[in-house]
Chain A
Amino acid sequence: MGILELHDVTLELGGKPILNKLSVDFWEGHVHALIGPNGAGKSTLANTIMGLPGYTHHSGEILLDGESLRGVPVDERARRGITLAWQEPARFEGLRMDRFIAAGAKVKTREKVQEMLSRVGLDPERYLSRKVDKTLSGGERKRIELASILAMEPRLVLMDEPDSGIDVEALQRIFDALADFKAMGTTVIMITHSMAVLEHAEHAFLLCNGHIIDKGPVDKISGYFADNCIPCDHENLPAPEEEMMPA
């Protein structure tokens, strides 16, 4: 069953349609991957679903559980269960990790924060009182971001390039988090180019020129992407309708 539906969503930035009559359904509790060349509109799609400032002036409809999100601000969307794991998580000078993780947590106890840190492979003893600032590596910040999202127990997570800028151990923790989300029944939409990450998705969508041009099993879509999209040599024309996979 679809938790999130997009119908004919078009969004222009700088006079150019970045999302172009985009329609797609995402199934509840599944791990979806969005694949596409640079500039295809993947991050824009995530930001539009999240309702970030600068991404709300789209036409078409975005429905969560069949209800339109038009006019619903970011924080309210988050309270309804949607959240975003940023490609480059923010740094917060002076803000303690426990305060950051507890901020959006469903259960705001010290024990819960400790449990979330452990789940992303960070020792609570060492990390609980540290600051979410520039003293952390990129991989640590990614993991802390995931800890804060796991603590939210969201219904839908948008993950923008979850593997960018991280080491092998952090990558494994992200795979563990994906399994946790799956176990919690959380729907995941992740943007990635990484074959290692794609293996953890159940379905893939190929985005080109702001339009979903194909969808289906990961190996099929990623194979098509690898063969035809790097480099992109079809001038970003949508694939013929008959080549599209059925939903």
Chain B
Amino acid sequence: MSDVATARALLESLGDFGAHFTGDDVAHLEVHGNEIVGSHLVPGLDVDVEQLDDGVEAHIRLHEGVKLANPVHLCFGMLPTDGLQHIVMKVDVEPDSFASVQAHCTFPNAVDITHTMDAVVTIAPGATYEYFERHLHGAGGGVLVVPKTRVQLGEGSRFRTEFELIKGQAGVIDFDYDADCGAHSILEMVTRIIGRGHDTVTIRETGRLNGEGARAVLNSYLALRDEARAEVYNTLTASAPYARGHVDCKEIVQDRAIAKAVPVVEVNHPLAHITHEAAIGSVDSKQLQTLMTRGLTEDKATDLIIEGLLS
């Protein structure tokens, strides 16, 4: 299959799941396995990609002061049933720049696929970097997803990330994001995952508020059904004056699913403040009954409540 045909097939597998744009004024990159099957850059953004035996290594550089008007679209995936895709990513976001990245990861036919990512993100003072990663898996699971990201936030910078897997079956997810936050920086991490079948989900979100006035929110929202299991470890440490943070984990558990949440908050400065909240349980009975008094079946009402929670 030609690169163009592969890229097209990859994007078609997304269906109506998110929109992956490839216009002239939109930077994009499509990677199938270890093959770069499509790419386009815009001024102010450099992307150097090298092919590895089992994936790609990408160095992304956003130039100082550049603010990209359109989101950068990335698509990683594999169409075959088996394989390994390893993504190494180094991202340098230079001072006072802005970029928003929409990453779609698609494994529609997976039976035994491993998708790993090792990313190092450096956000310079005054810059903002947003990274939204959405996964589309097939109905049978069969994907091991291991995203690991280390983030360094400079003074007054901002990092916002969302990881979403609500279409198809997750398989095994071992999510690990870790951030060091400089003075007056802002960190927001959100994960939204639906686990079904025998899915196993582990989430580790860590933030260290090292600089004065740094702020962070770590949010995890999960809905588990069947035999799915999830463990969420959210850790937030505040070591500087006026650092502020909040850790929030909400998990809806149905059937024989099992959920565990371990929020760790640590404050090492008397002028810092962190709060946390965790709620694990079945669907709220009053919400359920309210929707059923509108004529929704229990299943449809549950789906709507979960849709809200994961929105």
Partner-B contacts on A (CB < 8 A) = 50, 52-53, 73-75, 78-79, 83-84, 86, 89-96, 99, 103-104, 131-132, 148-149, 152
B197 to chain A, nearest CB (A): 24
B2 part of interface (Cβ distance < 8 Å): no
B139 part of interface (Cβ distance < 8 Å): no
**B290 — nearest CB in chain A belongs to which residue?**
A90
Interface pair A78/B305, CB less than 8 Å apart: no
B39 to chain A, nearest CB (A): 35
Residues in B neighbouring A99, C-beta threshold 8 A: 304, 307-308
Query: Which of B250, B289, B308, B310 is the one whose CB lies under 8 Å from A74?
Result: B289
Binds A, one of B89-97, B155-163, B292-300: B292-300
**B299 — nearest CB in chain A belongs to which residue?**
A75
Interface pair B292/A75, CB less than 8 Å apart: yes
What are 22 contact pairs spanning A and B, CB under 8 A? A50-B293, A73-B292, A74-B293, A75-B295, A75-B298, A78-B293, A78-B294, A78-B295, A78-B296, A83-B295, A84-B293, A86-B286, A90-B286, A90-B290, A93-B308, A93-B309, A94-B309, A94-B311, A95-B311, A103-B291, A104-B296, A132-B308
With A94-B309, A94-B310, A94-B311: A75-B296 Cβ-Cβ less than 8 Å: yes
Interface pair A96/B308, CB less than 8 Å apart: yes
B70 part of interface (Cβ distance < 8 Å): no
Give the distance in Å from the alpha carbon of A37 to the alpha carbon of B241 in the complex.
55
Give the distance in Å from the alpha carbon of A74 to the alpha carbon of B298 in the complex.
9
Residues in B neighbouring A149, C-beta threshold 8 A: 294
Give the distance in Å from the alpha carbon of A204 to the alpha carbon of B309 in the complex.
41
B275 part of interface (Cβ distance < 8 Å): no
B182 to chain A, nearest CB (A): 31
Number of interface residues of B (CB under 8 A): 23
Interface pair A89/B310, CB less than 8 Å apart: no
Question: Which residues of B, 255-305, contact A by the 8 Å Cβ criterion?
Answer: 284-287, 289-298, 301, 304-305
Residues in B neighbouring A94, C-beta threshold 8 A: 307-311
Interface pair B308/A103, CB less than 8 Å apart: no
Give the 6 A-B CB pairs with smallest separation, nearest first: A104-B294, A95-B308, A94-B308, A78-B295, A94-B311, A75-B292
- Interface residues as binary, B232-257 with A (CB distance below 8 Å gives 1, 0 otherwise): 00000000000000000010000000
Residues in B neighbouring A52, C-beta threshold 8 A: 289
Interface pair B292/A78, CB less than 8 Å apart: yes
Residues in B neighbouring A148, C-beta threshold 8 A: 294
**A104 — nearest CB in chain B belongs to which residue?**
B294
Interface pair A152/B305, CB less than 8 Å apart: no
Give the distance in Å from the alpha carbon of A53 to the alpha carbon of B296 in the complex.
15
Give the distance in Å from the alpha carbon of A52 to the alpha carbon of B287 in the complex.
13
Residues in A neighbouring B298, C-beta threshold 8 A: 75
Interface pair A103/B304, CB less than 8 Å apart: yes
B162 to chain A, nearest CB (A): 13
Query: Which of B292, B294, B307 is the one whose CB lies under 8 Å from A95?
Result: B307
Give the distance in Å from the alpha carbon of A148 to the alpha carbon of B250 in the complex.
26
